[in-house]
Structure 1
Amino acid sequence: MHIVITGANRGIGLALSTRYSDRGDTVTGTSRDDSAQLRLDVTDPAQHAAFAEQLRNQPVDLLICNAGVYLDKGHTINDYPADMWAQSFATNVTGVFLTVQALLPNLEASRGKVAILSSQMASHTRAPGGSYIYRASKAAVLNLGRNLATDLKDDGIAVGIYHPGWVQTDMGGAAAEIDVEQAVSGLIERFDDLSLATTGCFETYDGQPHAY
């Protein structure tokens, strides 16, 4: 399998890249700098065009949209500048769409799959307050993924949206519930199980349907 992973230079993305490589898959990892195989700032349309050109005629079996930011972590309601909203949505929402758009010919060539990492914080059933930007952006990318699943089904491309768990990474913090290996093991199982029969799913890393 040829697997493309955005944000593959650290945390969950790096661990996924390592696990897939270890099992013999071909992995193309991206990062905003030069710390992965290919450079891709998911907010930059020009870099997407260059990225697509680098992968021209290479079928992609699985695209994992993992790159994301949590810029408003720990902020209070009076500390939400407009540019923080714009930057967050550019990465967490627009960046996902641009990545899928750029690699659509590659996905069509293999009738591949798209896995979008969202969060339980996207669910409207969980509203404890705070983290307004992150919650809103993850809800938006959940909606994006559900609609992509509808539009890409006739092309044979399945789309799944996933909550990776509260993970002990730079973003999740040391107090998080599970470690990276637990999250990655579960996610790989979910991605392997994704099919046209389950396209549009919103699931947790351990296989539980998540409330929208």
Structure 2
Amino acid sequence: MAVLITGANRGIGAALFAKAQARGHDVIGTTRATDDPTLRPMDVTDPDSVTALAAQLAETPIDLLVCNSGVFLEKGQPADRLTDTQLWADTFATNVTGVYLTAMAFLPNLALSKTPKIAIISSQMGSSERAGGQNYVYRASKAAAVNLGRNLAVDLKTRNIAVGIYHPGWVRTDMGSSAASISTEQSATGLFDRFDHLSLNTTGCFEMWNGDPMPF
């Protein structure tokens, strides 16, 4: 299987990249940094950067596109002081617009696959039914990513492209903290199981890394 994973330089993205390699997949990982020769440079917030990589990979089939890049820029900030509009803009640029730009740019590659899939890494913090307060910017961006994924699932079904949205768990990363409940290896293993089960019959799903359904 040919896999492209965004944000593969650290955390969950790096674990997904390693898991794909261990499974024997042909995997391409991306990063905003340019000093890692194993990854392709691509900034999901920059349309020119995204289209440049898509052009380099023209005629290359992609079976699974994993939109993993994400930021949590407000972490640790009081909820009543999130008045910096640039913080909101930068968060949505990565967590929402970046997903859209990536999905659109690589549609031609997905069209070359017999069973194309898009996996969007969102969060349970994007669930409106599980609103827990605080972290307004991140929660709003992840809710938007869920909504985007649901609508992409509707429109791309006619192109035989399945779209799934996933909560990776509370993972021990810089974002999740050392107090989190699962390792990146556990998350990546569970997520790839979910990707395997994604199909046109389940397109638009919002699931946890372990297969439990997430409320919208």
TM-score between both structures, scaled by the size of structure 2: 0.96
Find the counterpart in structure 2 of residue 54 from structure 1: 56
1:78, CA displacement in angstroms? 3.5
Aligned residue identity for 1:56: A
Find the counterpart in structure 2 of residue 174 from structure 1: 178
Find the counterpart in structure 2 of residue 85 from structure 1: 88
RMSD: 0.8
Aligned residue identity for 1:102: A
Where 2:129 maps in the other structure, the secondary structure is: coil
Structure 1 stretch displaced more, 184-193 or 14-23: 14-23
Q: Unpaired segments of 5 or more residues in structure 2? A: none
Where 2:77 maps in the other structure, the secondary structure is: coil
TM-score between both structures, scaled by the size of structure 1: 0.98
- For residues 93-147 of structure 1, the C-alpha deviation after alignment (integer angstroms, 9 at most, x for no partner) is 0000000010000011114100000000001112221100000000000000000
Find the counterpart in structure 1 of residue 78 from structure 2: 76
1:74, CA displacement in angstroms? 1.2
Percent of paired sites with the same residue = 57
1:23, CA displacement in angstroms? 1.6
The answer to whether structure 1 residue 109 and structure 2 residue 121 are counterparts is no
1:77, CA displacement in angstroms? 2.5
- Tell me if the contact between 2:50 and 2:105 (Cα under 8 Å) persists in the aligned partners: yes
Aligned residue identity for 2:24: G
Find the counterpart in structure 1 of residue 187 from structure 2: 183
Where 2:30 maps in the other structure, the secondary structure is: strand
Where 1:125 maps in the other structure, the secondary structure is: helix
Q: Distance in 1 between matches of 2:9 and 2:100?
A: 20
Q: Distance in 1 between matches of 2:208 and 2:106?
A: 25
Mapping for residues 144-163 of structure 1, pairs under 5 Å: 144-163=148-167
Give aligned pairs, total.
212
Find the counterpart in structure 2 of residue 3 from structure 1: 3
